[in-house]
A and B are shown apart, each in its own frame.
Chain A
């Protein structure tokens, strides 16, 4: 077949990464260092997620790769091809059919189950980095649970914008202990971090893995008088009519016409397949979109 070991990485490396994953699952939210390998793709293209996926995949797996909710972006396509080629695993676009999902920037709308693993691509795993550049200091802050700085960031948000403007990578506290950056998912997805599935976060350049075991308690940080809100655009999906899914705003013509569509394309297609219709779906615009 190919010249690669199954899923590209050699067995030694996979073992090392699996040890890091197990440790990360045992200490939810804690960033476990691992020796990140060179991957045949540039940093920023999900090398951390790819290594975690490679260490988790077995031949029976069915893989789904999403980028910003879609399966057909360059990034998602190239990672899917990579594993088709190096692991020969089956792939799918359907959330419910996948056993392992690698994602960037979104959590699927459809609740995940105990048989699934969700792997996140993480650019910067350290939630305290923006205000404390010293690694020695942030490590100490985690060790001693000194998390006042996270609230300083939220304070600055409110002082400047009148509300907590952080809408991606919104910091959470895991099991009442570690503060964690959930990667750049919209804060709308934060409530979904409490899940039946195993969630693994891989940061390639920063060489860190963190994890959320199933049913782990995940609380989004906030102020008493500015509570956390899992906000989204105040619309229904124009294609499938969903009033609860996260929406992208799409410009549809030169006259500034716009529509709101589910960011999770599989979710939207599945709903339309089941006969749900949005404001613009009946006019046939879904084919144009």
Chain B
């Protein structure tokens, strides 16, 4: 089976400081990879290099494109990469304001990706937006409201709907439940888990909340100072951590 995403030796430095170093892993279709580690360990750097938001210094990010099979994303032209970003890929930001258009209605936010790939029938776009709002548990009568009128949890659900409406194959998420109340987090996690299963999504999720990876991730990478110090099946890593740093992390000594 071809991996959907194949990462080899990915390295990013900020001057002399290491962002992430020599990261390699494969992600198979339908798999969710969790990335955990303390603050500053390089999780966001890695995710942004994968998604093409940051230019890595070296390494390869191979993606199994529909048309041509495995391609090195870093060698793609910018138009190709941007096309990928609004079709097969999705990116859920920690802060919904970074991933939403705050001046555009909920329906317009969800419809944007459809229109970006050529949808030109208002009725169809609206019906799909309506459907997706329902799937993320936003009431139908909120479709014309702007996200500024939504709670943090609703904004995050809206961001998820906006990202998933075009049926992406790979979703990047950076702390999708960060900054939310605990009860709101639980509901969002439930929802995410349902969607991931239902759509057979592949995802890379960055978090420093071990409960999040426990619920969502099949596999886990533990990062420290830019390096992956341990990787494996989620339950294995969490229940029987091998690396000293992971042991500390799991025993919650390092948890924020």
Contacts and interface: CB of A to CB of B under 8 A. Distances in A.
The judgment on whether A and B are partners is yes
B123 to A, nearest CB: 5
A131 B122 contact: no
A222 to B, nearest CB: 8
A151 B111 CA distance: 9
B123 A225 contact: yes
Contact of A225 (B78, B103, B117, B121): B121
Interface string A134-164: 0000001000101011011001101110000
Given A131-B103, A144-B82, A152 B122 contact: no
A4 to B, nearest CB: 45
B17 interface: no
A124 B56 CA distance: 37
Interface in B88-142: 101, 103-105, 107-108, 111-113, 115-117, 120-123, 125-126
B122 A226 contact: yes
Contact of B122 (A146, A149, A155): A155
B125 A155 contact: yes
Contacts of B117: 148
A147 to B, nearest CB: 8
A224 B120 contact: yes
Given A144-B79, A144-B82, A223 B104 contact: no
Interface string B52-83: 00000000000000000000000000110010
A151 B108 CA distance: 9
Contacts of B115: 148-149, 151-152, 155
Contacts of A155: 107-108, 111, 115, 122, 125-126
Contacts of A149: 112, 115-116
Interface in B141-164: 143-144
A223 B121 contact: yes
Interface string A67-100: 0000000000000000000000000000000000
A128 to B, nearest CB: 12
Q: Say which size band chain B's interface belongs to.
A: 20 to 34
Contact of B108 (A159, A225, A226): A159
B122 A223 contact: yes
By size class, the interface of chain A is: 10 to 19
Contacts of A160: 105, 144
Nearest to B116: A148
Interface in A197-255: 223-226
Contacts of B105: 156, 159-160
Given A146-B82, A146-B116, A160-B144, A152 B104 contact: yes
A148 B78 CA distance: 17
Interface centre among B104, B122, B126, B144, by most chain A C-beta atoms within 10 angstroms, is B122
A152 B113 CA distance: 9
B120 A152 contact: no
B101 A131 contact: yes
Contact of B120 (A131, A140, A146, A151): A151
Contacts of B116: 146, 148-149
Nearest to B78: A144
A152 B112 contact: yes
A226 B120 CA distance: 9
The 5 closest A-B pairs by CB, nearest first: A148-B116, A223-B122, A151-B115, A148-B115, A224-B121
Given A131-B101, A146-B116, 9 more contacts: A144-B82, A152-B104, A156-B104, A156-B108, A158-B122, A159-B105, A159-B107, A159-B144, A225-B122
Interface of B: 78-79, 82, 86, 101, 103-105, 107-108, 111-113, 115-117, 120-123, 125-126, 143-144
Interface of A: 131, 140, 144, 146, 148-149, 151-152, 155-156, 158-160, 223-226
17 contacts: A131-B101, A131-B103, A140-B78, A146-B82, A146-B116, A148-B86, A148-B112, A152-B115, A155-B122, A155-B126, A159-B108, A159-B143, A160-B105, A160-B144, A224-B121, A225-B122, A225-B123
